[in-house]
Amino acid sequence: TPTRHFRIASIPGDGVGSEVVAAGRQVLDALAAASHGALGFTWEEFPWGSDYHARTGKMIADDGPDRLRAFDAVYFGAVGWPTVPDHVSLWGLRLRLCQGFDQWANVRPVHFLPGITSPLRTADTTPLDWVVVRENSEGEYGGFGGRNFAGRGPGGEIAVQSAVFTEVGCERIIRFAFDLARTRDRRKVASVTKSNAQQYGMVLWDEVFARVAADYPDVETESVLVDAMAAKFVLAPQDLSVVVASNLHADILSDLAGALAGSLGLAASANLNPERRHPSMFEPVHGSAPDIAGQGVCNPIGAIGSAALMLEHFGLAQEAARVRRAIAATCASGVLTRDVGGTATTKDVTAALIDNLAD
């Protein structure tokens, strides 16, 4: 029997979610098969998502979160399909799990891979590698607000969407970013806000950042407004290491980072409950990609990179590195899906990657 064994709940969700989750699962199973019993994964798949909603009126079973507690991690595809309003599906499944399991740190590394031309790579080959740390429990996605129709007549409705920043919430994600910076070659944290325009929550964030920074004199810091940081991603990416930002800002910046690295289909993410009181959840950054779903052509690398982050969470750093090397080798060999300029299918890339695990 395997000495190290992990139980993983998989939630493929909607659209390309099922294609990329199948790819990631195959890669981990290949890794286990090659480990001669040292490593094992047991999977249980849950059918929650927009189809489930069509049958039951719910995005997840009522006892779903409780059932997930028994697992070592959740491996997630994507949620969202034109049959269900996006805010219903996202709140009903992904945000319900992230917030219900207090996965307050969302880690989104940006890797520039060989064989893939980035818009930033056209001029030179400077090594680029940074990580977006997203506050994942509050901020602009706190869910506070309301809509007022009453007596205002046609065209008069008022909606309020509030952002919530707590000192505890700011402090834990900022400390997380500093601790992460200490594990990297470049010990630097850039904090992103819009505190010139948003004078309460984001000023609190800035103050907490300055206070926490004092505890990490060995880590270089900068505070950058989000609009300037968007420009900096394009103009000075070599100057980035850890970038910590609010729920909304980091959501936007990580799609930009994925695109700069060559495709949104490459970007991986970990939703972590760092205290390990609840399961953490690993998912590609992209959504359900309805425009290409069902064609077998989506890029599985974001999901496979997310599986590597899950291995790291399990304490399997060597195995995670092996998957990352296989990802790089596959890209370098030119087995690429359409989004990164190739003609390979999802299955071609997955198979090539599994071959590369052997080296």
Mark 195-234 with x for binding to ligand NAI (rule: CB under 6 A) and - for no binding.
----------------------------------------
- Out of 141, 216, 232, 339, pick the active-site residue: 141
Active site residue 255: yes
Distance CA 325, CA 65 (A): 34
> Which residues share a beta bridge with 13?
78
Footprint on residues 5-44 left by ligand NAI (CB under 6 A): 16, 20
Q: Residue from 22, 78, 190, 242 that binds ligand NAI (CB under 6 A)?
A: 78
Of these residues, 102, 206, 255, 355, which one is catalytic? 255
Q: Which does 224 bind (CB under 5 to 8 A by kind): Mg ion, ligand NAI, none?
A: none
CB of 36 to ligand NAI, least distance (A): 32
Per-residue binder mask for ligand NAI (CB under 6 A), 301-340, x = binder: -x------------------------------------x-
The one catalytic residue in 14, 52, 194, 232 is 194
Q: Which of 128, 140, 101 lies closest to 283 in space, CA to CA?
A: 101
* Beta pairing class for 220-225 and 158-164: unpaired
By CB under 6 A, name the one of 95, 264, 308, 352 that touches ligand NAI: 264
Using CB under 5 A, which of 14, 251, 283, 319 touches Mg ion? 251
Quote the CA–CA distance of 307 and 286 in Å, as a whole number.
Answer: 14
Residue 72 to residues 30, 46, 88, Cα–Cα distance (Å): 19, 15, 27
Across the strands, what pairs with 242? 131, 189
AA identity, residue 208: V
> Least distance in Å: CB of 77 to ligand NAI?
7
Least distance CB 167 / ligand NAI (angstroms): 28
Integer angstrom CA distances of residue 201 from 218, 248, 259, 358: 27, 13, 29, 49
The option from Mg ion, ligand NAI, none interacting with 138 (CB < 5 to 8 A, set by class) reads: none
Q: Does 348 bind Mg ion (CB under 5 A)?
A: no
- Tokens 């286990």 label which residue? 32
List C-alpha distances in Å: 100 to 68, 164, 256, 280, 313. Answer: 11, 17, 27, 11, 19
Contact partners, residue 170, CB within 8 Å, separation at least 6: 135, 204, 205, 208, 209
Q: Catalytic residues, which ones?
A: 141, 194, 227, 251, 255
Binding site for ligand NAI (CB under 6 A): 16, 20, 78-80, 86, 90, 94, 264-265, 283, 286-292, 298-299, 302, 339
